[in-house]
Amino acid sequence: MNTYVTPNTATADLRTDGDRLWQSLMELAKIGATAKGGVNRQALTDLDRQGRDLFIQWCRAEGCTIRIDKIGNIFARREGSDPGAKAVMAGSHLDSQPTGGKYDGCFGVLSGLEVIRTLNQHNITTRAPIEVVAWTNEEGCRFAPCMMGSGVFTGELEFDAMMTRTDADGVSVSDALDAIHYRGSDNVSSSEIKAYFEPHIEQGPILEDTNTTIGVVIGALGQKWYDLTLTGLEAHAGPTPMHLRRDAMMGAAEVTQALNRIANEHQPHGRGTVGYMALHPGSRNVIPGQVKMTLDMRHWEPQALTAMSQAVATSIEEICQRHGLEYTLTPTADFAPEFFDESCVSAVRQGAEKLKLSHMDIISGAGHDAIFIGRVAPAAMIFIPCKDGISHNEAESATPEHVHAGCNVLLHAMLNAAGIEAGE
């Protein structure tokens, strides 16, 4: 009978190959490369297919078993020595924004692959299987909503409804999966997961600002999104006195101010953003009769997020009454705050401490696949800095040193969860 232990001094000096990981990131970035140094590899396009094909090629070269489920999620498995053990999983996504960077998502997937390569290179046998996953359509830029693959996998999103979602050209998710030959038939269940770790660039400026290498992600902000339409009356900009106007744009401006004021009243975690606004009729000498806009509210505490939402709704009502406007406020997303599993968070923190890397607890302000996975299995995330906090941008940048550090933390966190044979 084999004996298994938690990794100890025998693997304390184990490190991944930073040069190999960096080379893989740069090789993948050639697929969909843009002139400004980023990538455009949107979900379920032929470029996405090429990225998926390369990832699978690399995984098979390491002896992994490949499974693809009905929404196109890819699972690459390195077996452990206990056939009944649940898998220790790492991953993220390969799709990008239209003007995306080289690291968002890809860093997490290829770090998981590098862990497998390192274990193979050093002939280390884990008790639990090690599995790397590439989730489908995390970005949500071609097909809404975001985090579609992990959402279907966890049951947060309904499969049939997602398959009918269409892009700007009317192509459905179902047709796009078939077009790139990634509609899988393998059944993969969240009950198979012992622990899930997702390495990612921070997509914010906190780690860089504090000169910290590793963010130990303890959870993610909750989110409430709304579409707001304000309707007034178009009128001539010259003859209509200011006090007789029903100016939808004035209402929109005041709603924007109210949203920002309310977010600032709920610090340090409150966030409020108007990310989109469209005026009708959009003529320079016509008072806008209608404005369509989006509202994005986020907070770490559920009660605070609810209070923000209620305060914004009250402000909208008051503003519209004062300006003689009608409005419709439609919820479009409602994600509760996520509190990651304490044992997984501890494994990340211990990995950073073992490697003597500067680290701090941090809360993710962005949505990630780990948020959905964390609702059905133990999960945590590992952040590394990105230059100026820039992401979803071709200028997105991370250093080889930080990429390597994050992958090494992932290695030790996964070994912590998976266990190794005594004597390894």
Same domain, residue pair 163 and 248: no
What is the percentage of the chain residues whose pLDDT exceeds 70? 97
C-beta neighbour count of 365 within 10 angstroms: 16
Same domain, residue pair 255 and 177: no
Q: Where are the beta strands (DSSP E) in 157-275?
A: 193-201, 214-220, 222-231, 235-236, 271-273
What are the backbone dihedrals phi and psi of residue 245, each rounded to the nearest 5 degrees, phi first?
Answer: -85, 150
pLDDT tens readout for residues 125-177? 999 999 999 999 999 999 988 999 999 999 999 999 999 999 999 999 999 99
Average confidence (pLDDT) over 95-115: 98
Which CATH number do you get for residue 241?
3.30.70.360
pLDDT tens readout for residues 80-103? 999 899 999 999 999 999 999 999
Same domain, residue pair 121 and 159: yes
Same domain, residue pair 226 and 162: no
Q: How many domains does the chain have?
A: 2
Among 316, 334, 352, the domain boundary falls at 334
* Distance between CA atoms of residues 111 and 201, nearest Å: 12
What pLDDT score was predicted for residue 383? 98
Q: Which residues partner with 40 through β-bridges?
A: none
For 277, residues 6+ apart whose C-beta sits below 8 A from its C-beta are 252, 291, 292, 293, 294
Average confidence (pLDDT) over 222-237: 96
Same domain, residue pair 209 and 226: no
State the chain's mean pLDDT as an integer. Answer: 95
Same domain, residue pair 283 and 148: no
Same domain, residue pair 203 and 237: no
Among 288, 311, 334, the domain boundary falls at 334
Q: What is the pTM of this model?
A: 0.88
* Distance between CA atoms of residues 114 and 110, nearest Å: 6
Among 283, 309, 334, the domain boundary falls at 334
Q: Which two tokens stand for residue 161?
A: 């409804």
What pLDDT score was predicted for residue 2? 41
Same domain, residue pair 301 and 344: no
Q: Is the Cα dihedral 417, 418, 419, 424 positive or negative?
A: negative
pLDDT at 226 over 60: yes
Same domain, residue pair 54 and 145: yes
What is the percentage of the chain residues whose pLDDT exceeds 90? 93
pLDDT at 1 over 50: no
For residue 304, the enclosing domain spans 222-334
Same domain, residue pair 353 and 206: yes
Which CATH number do you get for residue 125?
3.40.630.10
Cβ-count burial of 140 within 10 angstroms (0-12 exposed, 13-18 middle, 19+ buried)? middle
Cβ-count burial of 421 within 10 angstroms (0-12 exposed, 13-18 middle, 19+ buried)? middle
**pLDDT tier, 335 (very low <50, low <70, confident <90, very high otherwise):** confident
What pLDDT score was predicted for residue 3? 42
Same domain, residue pair 231 and 323: yes
Same domain, residue pair 243 and 215: no
**pLDDT tier, 5 (very low <50, low <70, confident <90, very high otherwise):** very low
pLDDT at 9 over 70: no
